[in-house]
C-alpha cells in the first residue's frame, strides 16, 4: 500500500518529459518541448492512470533489459570458463557447456546477495522521480549491453562488470550529476569500503591477485608432480570436471548478483519495494538468464582466452580454474564485484609465467589489458549518448 501511495503521489508531480523535471539536487531544468507546452488537457484522474501505466511499463522494460544484460553476460563472460578445458582438450564443447550451465545456475541461488547490495547501492536515486530514475537505469544498461556485444563480435575479452559500472555511472552523471554517485572516498578515509571505491578496488586488485595466486599455485603443483609420468595428464583431465564446475558456481554467485542488484534498484525506484531487498523471483530469473546465455555462444572469446595467451595443457587448466574460483568466490563472500574474464586471463598469465615466461604471448596480454582500460569510459560514453538521444527525441516530440 505504501508503495502504491508513493508512486501515485509521485505521478501527480511528474512532468510528461522526465528530463524536464527540476532536480532536487539543484540543477536547473531544460526547456520544455512544444509537446509539453501544448494546451491539451485531460481529466486529472485519466492523466494519473495513464502516467501510472507508463511508469509500470518502464519498470517492466527495465527488468527485461537487465535480464537481457544478464543473458549477454552469460555468453560473453562465462565463455571464459569453458575456454581452458576445451583448449586443453579435456572436455568437448558440449560437455563443458553442460557442466558450466548447470553450476552457473546454482551459483546465484546459493551464493547470497552481498554483491547485489554493493552494485545496487553505488548510485543514489532516492530523490529522483520514478520515470527519470528508471530511464537512467535503461540508458546505463544500453551502454553496457552495446559494449558487451561490440567486444563479443570482435572476439575481444572485455568485462561485463566494468561495462555495467561504466554505463550506469555515465547515465547518472549526465542526468542528475556527480552528487548522486556514491564515490566512497570519505568512507575510505574512515577505514570503510563502499560505493565506487569498493567496486574499482575489487576490479583492479582481483586480476593482480589472480596472476600471483596462479603463479604460486602452479609452482606448488609442478613441484608436487615433478616426478610424475605423462599418464598423470589423465588425472588432471578428470579433475577439470570439478574445477570447471567450481569456477562456474563462483562466477554465477558473483556475476548474476550484479543483475540482481540493478533489478532490485529498478523495483525500488518504481515503488514496488520499500527497502533494498532482493526478491527470490529476481534471483531465479537472473540465474536462468545467465545460464541460457552460456548455452547460446561464446566460442569467439574461447579462442582468445584459451589459445591466445599460451599453449594450455590439462595441468594449466586445473590450476587456472582453481585459482580463478578461489578469487571470484572469495570476492562474492565480501560483496566485491569482480570480472571473471580478468581473473581467468590473469591467472593463466601467472601460470604461464611461472613455468616459462617466454611461452606467454605478452602481445595478446597487452591487447586484453588495453581493452580493460577503455571498457568503463567506453560503456559510459555510450550511455551518455543514449541519454542525450532520448532527451532530444522527447524534446523534438
Q: Is the per-residue pLDDT at 52 higher than 70?
A: no
User: Confidence band (pLDDT; 50, 70, 90) for 312?
Assistant: confident
Q: Could you tell me the residue ranges of all domains in the chain?
A: 56-391
Cell numbers for 376: 568503463
Q: What is the pTM of this model?
A: 0.80
pLDDT single digits (tens) 192-214 = 888 899 998 998 899 899 999 99
Nearest alpha carbon to residue 149 among 301, 336, 351 = 301
Confirm if 40 and 50 have CB atoms less than 8 A apart.
Answer: no
Please calculate the CA angle 198-209-248 and round it to the nearest 5 degrees: 85
Answer with the residue of higher pLDDT: 241 or 148.
241
DSSP 86-130: HHTTSS-HHHHHHHHHHHHHHHHHHS-SHHHHHHHTSB--TTS-H
Q: Is the per-residue pLDDT at 28 higher than 90?
A: no
Nearest alpha carbon to residue 104 among 252, 242, 253, 283 = 252
Helix (H, G, I), strand (E, B) or coil at 166: helix
What is the residue-averaged pLDDT of the chain?
80
Answer with the residue of higher pLDDT: 33 or 103.
103
The pLDDT of residue 310 is: 62
The pLDDT of residue 206 is: 92
Residue 181, beta-bridge partner list: 123
Amino acid at each position: 500500500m505504501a508503495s502504491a501511495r508513493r508512486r501515485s503521489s509521485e505521478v501527480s508531480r511528474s512532468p510528461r518529459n522526465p528530463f524536464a523535471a527540476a532536480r532536487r539536487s539543484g540543477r536547473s531544468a531544460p526547456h520544455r518541448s512544444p509537446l509539453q507546452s501544448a494546451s491539451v488537457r485531460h481529466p486529472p484522474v485519466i492523466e494519473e492512470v495513464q502516467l501510472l501505466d507508463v511508469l509500470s511499463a518502464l519498470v517492466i522494460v527495465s527488468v527485461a533489459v537487465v535480464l537481457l544484460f544478464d543473458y549477454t553476460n552469460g555468453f560473453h563472460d562465462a565463455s571464459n570458463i569453458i575456454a581452458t578445458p576445451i583448449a586443453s582438450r579435456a572436455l568437448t564443447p558440449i560437455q563443458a557447456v553442460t557442466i558450466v550451465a548447470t553450476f552457473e545456475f546454482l551459483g546465484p541461488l546459493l551464493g547470497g546477495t552481498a554483491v547485489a547490495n554493493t552494485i545496487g547501492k553505488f548510485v543514489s536515486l532516492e530523490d529522483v522521480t520514478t520515470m527519470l530514475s528508471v530511464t537512467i537505469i535503461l540508458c546505463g544498461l544500453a551502454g553496457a549491453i552495446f559494449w558487451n556485444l561490440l567486444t563479443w563480435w570482435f572476439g575481444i575479452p572485455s568485462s561485463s562488470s566494468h561495462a555495467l559500472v561504466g554505463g550506469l555511472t555515465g547515465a547518472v552523471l549526465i542526468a542528475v550529476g556527480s552528487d548522486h554517485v556514491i564515490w566512497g572516498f570519505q568512507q575510505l578515509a574512515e577505514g570503510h569500503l563502499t560505493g565506487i571505491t569498493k567496486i574499482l578496488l575489487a576490479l583492479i586488485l582481483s586480476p593482480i591477485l589472480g596472476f600471483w595466486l596462479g603463479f604460486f599455485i602452479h609452482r606448488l603443483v609442478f613441484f608436487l608432480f615433478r616426478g610424475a609420468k605423462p599418464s598423470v595428464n589423465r588425472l588432471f583431465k578428470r579433475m577439470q570436471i570439478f574445477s570447471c564446475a567450481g569456477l562456474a558456481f563462483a562466477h554465477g554467485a558473483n556475476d548474476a548478483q550484479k543483475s540482481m542488484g540493478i533489478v532490485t534498484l529498478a523495483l525500488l525506484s518504481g515503488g514496488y519495494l520499500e527497502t533494498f531487498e532482493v526478491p527470490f523471483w529476481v534471483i531465479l530469473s537472473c540465474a536462468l538468464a545467465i545460464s541460457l546465455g552460456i548455452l547460446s555462444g561464446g566460442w569467439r572469446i574461447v579462442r582468445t582466452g584459451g589459445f591466445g595467451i599460451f599453449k594450455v595443457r590439462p595441468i594449466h587448466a586445473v590450476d587456472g580454474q582453481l585459482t580463478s574460483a578461489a578469487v571470484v568466490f572469495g570476492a562474492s563472500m565480501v560483496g566485491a564485484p569482480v570480472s571473471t574474464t580478468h581473473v581467468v586471463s590473469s591467472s593463466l598469465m601467472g601460470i604461464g609465467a611461472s613455468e616459462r615466461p617466454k611461452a606467454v604471448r605478452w602481445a595478446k596480454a597487452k591487447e586484453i589489458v588495453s581493452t580493460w582500460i577503455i571498457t568503463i569510459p567506453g560503456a559510459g560514453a555510450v550511455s551518455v549518448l543514449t541519454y542525450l538521444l532520448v532527451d532530444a527525441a522527447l524534446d523534438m516530440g
